[in-house]
Amino acid sequence: MASRGEVSALAPQDLAEVLQAYSAVAERLQASHETLSAEVDRLQRELATKNAQLERGKRLAALGEMAAGIAHEIRNPLAAIQLYIEMIREDVAAEQAEVPTPRLAGALGHGDKIADAVRGLSAIVNDVLSFSRTVAPVPRRLDMVRVLERAVDAQRPLLDASGVQVRVEAADQAVYADPDLLYRALLNLVRNAAEALAEPAGREKQSWTPLLTLSAAAGAVTVADNGPGIDAATVDRIFNPFFTTRASGTGLGLAIVHRIVDAHGGSIAVRNADQGGAVFTLQFPSESDSA
């Protein structure tokens, strides 16, 4: 028996239990450290993303203010030009009706071209003003079937002209968003898809049917097509204001979409589908997150 004041030596079994307990604590500490490190990394990435979004929002707001000022300066002269060309065309048409001449017919043709050009410029001004307008969503639970079909119906002439088949797949009340703003975003995405599907980029028309699919589920809205997809060299720039790969257009459609999603506190992602075509996914916060 050990005398008082002496420490009894640990038996091998006791020592093994201590070592096991120490090993278990060390493993738990290591696991906690790894979990905390992963969470710190995630939070740092999230913070970097939020900061980037904030900076982008500031730059877009400044650009929007400048663009709005320019658009307003252009709008008034355009309205005057449109008014005067219509008056001139009416006068020329009246003279042509009384005494038809090739010169008057040519003047009418030139008037039509000027009027078309003015309408095109007015559309650009409207796009710029739409981009610069303050976006203040009033979200609510939406019947997404109705919202998606409304956007398709608005672009039906363009879709039919390209022979595009449309598929709508959505559960009712699947998304919490501002209905008018989401409708505006979808109009741009559907129009972009229809224009892309009108240019099959070498696909054999006989063996290829252009298809547009709109779907909604779990707070996400997806617009996908089976067209040529997006060039990898431009995919990082497609949401930039005034960037476009087409000969016509302002390059503001996708920038407007991005701004609408940002205003909701959501996110937008784009990728090329495995079978070809572009896929845009708009993710919106849930009703509880937006409260």
Which residue among 102, 134, 166 closes a domain? 134
| Residues 249 and 281 grouped into a single domain | yes
Query: pTM of this prediction?
Result: 0.62
Q: Are 129 and 145 in the same domain? A: no
State how far the Cα of 178 lies from the Cα of 29, in Å rounded to an integer. Answer: 46
> In the prediction, which pLDDT does 82 show?
84
Domain endpoint, select from 116, 134, 152:
134
Distance CA 250, CA 183 (A): 19
Residue for token pair 């979990």: 35
272 and 148, same structural domain? Answer: yes
CA–CA gap between residue 64 and residue 129 (Å, rounded): 8
Token representation of residue 152: 């398709």
Q: Which pLDDT value is given to residue 166?
A: 93
- Is the domain of 108 the same as that of 164? no
CA 80 to each of CA 89, 120, 122, 130, 215: distance values in angstroms, whole numbers, following the listed order? 14, 15, 12, 21, 44
> Do 127 and 195 sit in the same domain of this protein?
no
Residues 159 and 274 in one domain: yes
Residues 92 and 59 in one domain: yes
Q: Which of 134, 157, 184 is the last residue of a domain?
A: 134
Q: What count of other Cβ atoms lies within 10 Å of the Cβ of residue 202? A: 7
- Per-residue model confidence (pLDDT) at position 6: 53
Residue 48 domain boundaries: 10-134
How much is the pLDDT for 148? 92
Q: What tokens were used for 118?
A: 């003015």
Asked if residue 219 lies in contact with residue 205, where contact means CB atoms within 8 angstroms, the answer is no
**Is 45 within a domain?**
yes
Domain of residue 184, CATH code: 3.30.565.10
- Tell me, yes or no, whether 130 and 248 share the same domain: no
Query: Does 154 reside within a domain?
Result: yes
233 and 279 in a common domain: yes
Return per-residue pLDDT of the chain as tens, 291 residues: 445 555 455 566 766 676 677 677 777 777 776 777 777 777 777 676 666 666 666 666 666 666 666 776 777 788 888 888 888 888 888 888 888 888 888 888 888 888 888 877 777 777 777 766 777 889 999 988 889 999 999 999 989 988 899 999 876 667 899 999 999 999 999 998 998 888 655 555 556 789 999 999 888 999 999 988 888 888 778 887 777 776 666 677 888 888 899 889 899 999 998 878 899 999 999 876 655
Task: Provide the b/e sequence for 215-252 (b: ≥16 CB within 10 Å).
Answer: bbeebbbbbbbbbbbbeeeeeeebbbbeebeeeebbbb
Q: Give me the pLDDT at residue 152, please.
A: 93
- Residues 127 and 169 both lie in one domain: no
Q: Are residues 68 and 147 in the same domain?
A: no
Among 230, 171, 222, CA closest to 201: 230
Residues 120 and 178 in one domain: no
According to the model, what pLDDT value does residue 249 have?
Answer: 64
CA distance 187 to 185: 5
Instruction: With CA atoms as reference, report the closest residue to 216 among 117, 137, 133, 284.
Output: 284
Q: Which pLDDT score, from 0 to 100, does residue 65 have?
A: 66
- Whether 3 is covered by a domain: the verdict is no
Say how many domains are in the chain.
Answer: 2
Q: What is the DSSP letter of 273?
A: -
